[in-house]
Structure 1
């Protein structure tokens, strides 16, 4: 297990305890206030770690994406830990060929001088951040989302640089994202693009790929993070898929409260159970959480839990999980539910170790790059850039090419994680000062953020 770096947040009860200037008046009514103290410079490193960890998880998970989805045939026999380092097997697409990313199932790393390419686990968050950064806002509007999507996403009906994908052109959008984009082209503005009346795919995984970053803009305040992410989530999701995406956002907001000296496994578990309180007890995401958490606590191997998850939900449809036949893009592939369950397995069994968490997510099955990217980003944020590089034992590239999947960004789409992190820090500061009731420390080096009580109110 990885030890949390000493540069993590400081959660303090009593303003006087944070070492602020003695000449700064402290109202008596605030003497017992719990506050979160965050270094502004450190937050850049942590956001860098988010983008780096997310990219490692994304590209490692892409090696096995849709190799194993359950059912009969070669795609139904799931991977196990013994398959790590072994030859990749063909996915449900690609004309029976293994991944062209790596011939074996192993970590995909980019060293200095190489470039990380954007994919659907990073590119929508990138364009959301750009839209926020270049505005004076702390939250996106439907018009801002529409304008960003139409400016930076190719129309699959027109020629793209990526070639044809069947009868249309490749534009790196899938399922609910694709339908939302089509609706935007027709003049529909979010959140109507995620209304099931117009979009039949709102129970798919899409929002879980594209919105985690909003948790990082409201450090330590998942209630505000969910407000910031609510409209982006509803751009493509409703119901249980929306709840799953908001669960991810909650975890990312809680990550800012991570404390030095406490084992990562303990912190991740505590964060997960606090985020569980946002899930509705009468819907399947909460049941999935409880099922996986109990299996992990029992000591059952992760492969057995994954197999049991498949049987319970994808085969038997327990806890209200819908297993109606809806074709390739439903239960066995891009459905929010089965992928949410798989993500919980890697979160619990990874126990805060970024390498083990990404490894399990990559082997677990289904849309494997999604959980691998999500938890790579979460743990990367908690570790910061230096912690991620230490975990993988080498310096890693910070070069990023958004034009691998999107268009119309400056510098031919070339960017760096440092620059991306600095933009994220600027947005976070805007939120801290205007939405969280925070302020700068006397020396201007830290944010002082008041924290609510120990539990967050459950969303309606």
Structure 2
């Protein structure tokens, strides 16, 4: 997995619907293997391993959801949508339901499902069950099936040298009438029809799984699980069992071109074994560093996977025997995979009405409370902004706002929630937010988290009792930025704070306020 993701990382999403030119393919260097420890494409699934390590193989899906909600790494796409829902109190499986999650068919669980096969050697029913638990935190339908397919290939790869049999084992884990399963069958057939021309097969993938609208339902474009799963298979089918060929072909297919070669290389690695990997891929690997946001370095990760695999084998009716030579052997029952009932992201089944209880919400470190927009409805922009202040920033008042850019409440802007948007009433005249506060003792400061509008700017001015305390232009990329203003000269005093959304011209002069907070060492 590490080989594929670090090799492809410089190309990720830079080439969509085009093949990456040969001269744009990064060159492998042995030290690259240590670029893995901060890779989100690797450490997310370690959260799932940790849940099972702490709570057992049968960890409830709701506990798995709490653990995922408490993760501290940045997320995107389905992962972010699912985690946001969990933090809002929408418990799994509804956290991934298309009614609440607009990314159900994204690639996310496919990226993270390697663990399910690695701890389920020869046991597809375990792979399927793990997908129904951990995959449903963020994905639905094909989004889950992509992960179950990958996990099923891993589970078989320990015992099989025939790639087509490995692919069949993955297929057996998902509904045969799903579009994802159709994609897998297409890739196998197209490869057999054009065994020496992977680019011709790539073109057929493009025509059907990107340009045919029948296969773009509930799709978010190039992040869709089917086209990226096709790129994984492209590398495996045309890589001829060679690690470099497999990674490079999967990468050159484009789209999520670090995750896809990671999945392909991981399956191939499980088929061939670590000892058969060329030294240039393994010789520089450092075993001590921990993967970001996790409890694991490489030895700890190997240990937890082996311990969980032993538990899965026992749970599935197998056992571990020791031969006369002292070597242990897993005795694994051979059982047919039984995939779940077909679910379609564009025609989803009913919601489960699953919400976290107050006791469960108390366990979530980063809860998100948002409000219905109707709570702040008012035809007057100033009254609308004041309603938001009363709820989100109590005690603050606003001067007049113009109706331009719709001042008021925004539930979410990017990954920021409960935002107030203000807009100056006219050119040259600011919106002023004001509050009288008693400045705390210690090392008091005012913290403001604010963003400009796209293609706009404004001047942020802070005054304390009418005296200028801080000013800066807020413009350029419309990301939220945090500014702090020291209030030590006023500690223990009651003062009037004023924040100015001062127009610098008259183009997109709105300000978006996410945090306005006065604090001291003891607050």
Contact 2:14 2:254 in 1 (8 A): yes
Contact 1:315 1:323 in 2 (8 A): no
Q: Name structure 1 gaps, 5 residues minimum.
A: 1-53, 71-76, 89-103, 155-170, 259-263
Contact 1:118 1:401 in 2 (8 A): no
Partner of 1:147 in structure 2?
66
CA offsets, 1:293-316, max 9 Å, x none?
Answer: 122112251111112210122112
Partner of 1:228 in structure 2?
130
Query: For the residues of structure 2 that align with 1:292 and 1:245, how far apart are their CA atoms?
Result: 17
CA offsets, 1:313-346, max 9 Å, x none?
Answer: 21123xx31267x7xxx12x21112112222211
Match of 2:27 among 77, 85, 106: 106
C-alpha change, 1:109 and 1:131, in structure 2 (3 Å) is farther
Match of 2:333 among 427, 441, 451: 451
Find out whether 1:243 has 2:184 as its counterpart: no
Find out whether 1:311 has 2:207 as its counterpart: yes
Query: For the residues of structure 2 that align with 1:195 and 1:458, how far apart are their CA atoms?
Result: 19
Contact 1:389 1:395 in 2 (8 A): no
CA offsets, 1:209-234, max 9 Å, x none?
Answer: 11221112121111222113321011
C-alpha change, 1:124 and 1:393, in structure 2 (3 Å) is closer
Alignment of 1:52-451 (within 5 A): 54-70=1-17, 77-80=18-21, 83=22, 86=23, 88=24, 105-107=26-28, 109-110=30-31, 114=34, 116-135=36-55, 137-154=56-73, 171=74, 173-258=75-160, 264=161, 267-298=162-193, 299-317=195-213, 320-322=214-216, 330-331=220-221, 333-390=222-279, 392=281, 394-403=283-292, 406=293, 409=294, 415-441=296-322, 445-451=327-333
C-alpha change, 1:348 and 1:419, in structure 2 (3 Å) is same
Q: Structure 1 segments of 4 or more deviating over 6 A?
A: none
Contact 1:203 1:241 in 2 (8 A): yes
Query: For the residues of structure 1 that align with 2:217 and 2:62, how far apart are their CA atoms?
Result: 35
- Kindly state the Cα deviation for residue 391 of structure 1 after the two structures are TM-superposed: 6.8
C-alpha change, 1:433 and 1:174, in structure 2 (3 Å) is same
Q: Name structure 2 gaps, 5 residues minimum.
A: 342-523
Contact 2:29 2:280 in 1 (8 A): no
- Indicate the SS of the match to 1:107: coil
Query: For the residues of structure 2 that align with 1:398 and 1:384, how far apart are their CA atoms?
Result: 18
Q: As a proportion of its length, which structure holds more helix?
A: 1
Query: For the residues of structure 1 that align with 2:277 and 2:103, how far apart are their CA atoms?
Result: 35
Contact 2:8 2:261 in 1 (8 A): yes
Contact 1:215 1:226 in 2 (8 A): no
CA offsets, 1:177-220, max 9 Å, x none?
Answer: 11111112112222221111111111111111112211121211
Larger radius of gyration: 2
Partner of 1:91 in structure 2?
none
Query: For the residues of structure 2 that align with 1:132 and 1:353, how far apart are their CA atoms?
Result: 34
Query: For the residues of structure 2 that align with 1:435 and 1:281, how far apart are their CA atoms?
Result: 24
Contact 1:276 1:286 in 2 (8 A): yes
TM-score, L = length of structure 1: 0.68
Across the aligned residues of Structure 1 and Structure 2, the Cα RMSD in angstroms comes to 2.5
Query: For the residues of structure 1 that align with 2:278 and 2:284, how far apart are their CA atoms?
Result: 6
C-alpha change, 1:194 and 1:245, in structure 2 (3 Å) is same
Partner of 1:36 in structure 2?
none
Query: For the residues of structure 1 that align with 2:57 and 2:199, how far apart are their CA atoms?
Result: 42
- Kindly state the Cα deviation for residue 428 of structure 1 after the two structures are TM-superposed: 1.0
Contact 2:83 2:137 in 1 (8 A): no
- Indicate the SS of the match to 1:448: strand
- Kindly state the Cα deviation for residue 282 of structure 1 after the two structures are TM-superposed: 2.9
TM-score, L = length of structure 2: 0.60
CA offsets, 1:236-275, max 9 Å, x none?
Answer: 11112221211111111112223xxxxx4xx222111232
- Kindly state the Cα deviation for residue 361 of structure 1 after the two structures are TM-superposed: 1.1
C-alpha change, 1:399 and 1:351, in structure 2 (3 Å) is farther
Query: For the residues of structure 2 that align with 1:356 and 1:341, how far apart are their CA atoms?
Result: 16
